[in-house]
Structures are given as C-alpha cells and as structure tokens.
Amino acid sequence: MSHKIQTLGEFIIENQDSFKYSSGELSRLINSIRLAAKVVNHEVNKAGLVDVIGAYGETNIQGEDQQKLDVYANDKFIQTLTKRNIVCGIASEEEDSFITINSQDEKNQNKYVVLIDPLDGSSNIDVNVSVGTIFSIYRRITPVGTPVQLADFLQRGSEQVAAGYVVYGTSTMLVYTTGAGVNGFTLNPAIGTFYLSHPKMQFPEDGTIYSVNEGNYFDFPEGIKKYIKYCQEEEDDRPYTSRYIGSLVSDFHRNMIKGGIYLYPKGSRNPSGKLRLLYECNPIAFIAEQANGKSSDGYTRTLEVVPTALHQRVPFICGSKNMVDTVEAFMQKFGE
C-alpha cells in the first residue's frame, strides 16, 4: 500500500496545536506566504521568456541596484500579506521603512509582524542560478490595536516565532520552522501543491563543505584567513570542498543537507558585515539552530544580537556545529 504524502496545508493544520500561540493566525500567515511564493515561482520560471530580468533602474535602501524581479517579488509578498489582513506590519529589505497595516482600524487585532527578503540572490537570475525568499515572523510587543512601532521589528532573533525560506531552483522548496524542528516541502508544479519531502531536516554535526567568497580573502579578519587555510590543508578528512553559489538560500540549503559552513565575515570594505541581520541572518540562524546547526558572528550567537536599525548588517557564520565551533576558536586565537 502506498503511503499518502502530506501536503503543506495538511501539515500546518495537523501541527497547529503544537505551536504555543495557537490561534489559527500563524497558520493563515504561513499559508499566505505559500501563496505568494507560488506566484513568484511562476514569474521566476518565466525569466528569459518575458521582460522580467535585468535591472529595474533604481537602487534600494541598501544602495544596491534593484532587479525587476526584486520589485515584482516585493510587491507580491506585500500585497498578499496585506490583503489577507493577518499581519499588523511588514518590513522588507527593499523598503526604506516598515509598513503599517490597518493602523487606523481600532478593531485590528493582528499580532504578528513579518520581515522579508523577497528575492535573495536576485543578481544571479540573469544566469539561471537558484534564488530564494527569506522570511521571519515575530509577535508584536506594542499594544494590539495600535499602530506598529519600530520596536516591534527590532527584536532579538531569539524572539522569532517562525522563520523560513523558499528556494526557486531545479525544484521549488519551502522550508520553515515554528520552533519545533525544520521541515521542507517541494512544489508539484503540475497541480500547484507543496508536499512534505524533507521531514525533520538536520545538519550533520560535521561537514566537508565551506562556502565563502574567496575573492575577498585579503579583506577578511586574520581568524577567517587562518580557517580557510585550515580547510585547504591535507589532514584527517581535509581538504574540504569549496562550494559558493552567491545566493545565501542556495548555499545554506545545500550545507544543511550535506553538512557544511557558510561564511560572510566583516572586512575593511564591509566593517560591520555585509548580510542583513533582520532579513537574512536571524531567520537563517533560527532555522539552523532548529536543525542542529549553529550560527554566530565569530564570537556571539546570532540570535542574541540586539538589533539597533532596520537594515543593520552583521558578520555571519552558519552551519554544522563543529565547523562553526572551529571558526570561533580561530577567531578567538587570531582575532581581527
């Protein structure tokens, strides 16, 4: 007898009661993200056939050139989350400030805010490299029924109630956690349904892959330089394999399945780091920890960093526990 494969919708309903704030809102929120992801996936898969690739002609708050699909994905996720009236605020990597939803509606009892990187790795879309969406969900800390405030978004990563990503690749997957492990769902494009394909995802404690842009080697802290040389030495199970796609979601997804580490340290050109704490590092770190992995800036656990700005950047080291421990040991010994 064949075993029935569980859909994402069925999984959400079945596991709703295990969520400590169970009220149905979070389930509807995850479902909304699922819907927007399917729409964006459809557009990504048309790249090259219609006019959706290339630069949009503007820069975002990060000072980066916006791609057409950046703008499209940003609009679709904001529209979907706004129209369904399930969140009280949204912050996007592509927006200057956060968006308040239904701020004038005294009956608005929505409790969640969403922070999102609508299309991570979008500069790779022209060459058909996998891109993704990263999302992070918090319960607001200001009074329900009032307009959201910046404080609702500037919470430590340890306060996340859910986080996830969608990778648009050879197959499209949605991976997420609500603090009770990590599960991955693959989209069946024929019928538009996500099915549970990767239950209880776990990082191997050790790995043999290191992911870093070695073109920036001379800009890295001394501890990171020493670690890269360590990865390349012929000893024990080394040298490790170097794999770097340049799309955080894709690099992280591979490393979680196969065992590895992702490094984007600070440097003289990026003295505070390059990746965004709220849109990239916190959600990926939450997923990593729920999957038996680890994340830090080389010294401090990522989820304990206190945010000070909406678009704050930090150094980011994430992956298999033992590999991250080794990097931290190198940073302690050799420092900057």
Residues annotated in a binding site for substrate: 120-123, 213, 244, 262-264, 274
Q: Which two tokens stand for residue 22?
A: 């169970």
- Residue of 330, 335, 327, 245 whose CA lies nearest to 294: 327
Half-sphere exposure of residue 217: CA atoms within 13 angstroms, side-chain side: 8
Query: Going by C-beta distance under 8 Å and a sequence separation of 6 or more, which residues neighbour residue 331?
Result: 221, 223, 224, 298, 299
CA triplet 298, 242, 300: central angle to 5 degrees?
A: 10
Binding-site residues for Mg(2+), in ranges, read 93, 117, 119-120, 280
- Residue of 102, 74, 73 whose CA lies nearest to 88: 102
Detail the DSSP E strand segments found in 150-309: 162-168, 172-177, 182-188, 193-198, 209-211, 241-242, 260-264, 275-276, 293-296
Query: Going by C-beta distance under 8 Å and a sequence separation of 6 or more, which residues neighbour residue 23?
Result: none
Dist. CA 1–CA 169, nearest whole Å: 31
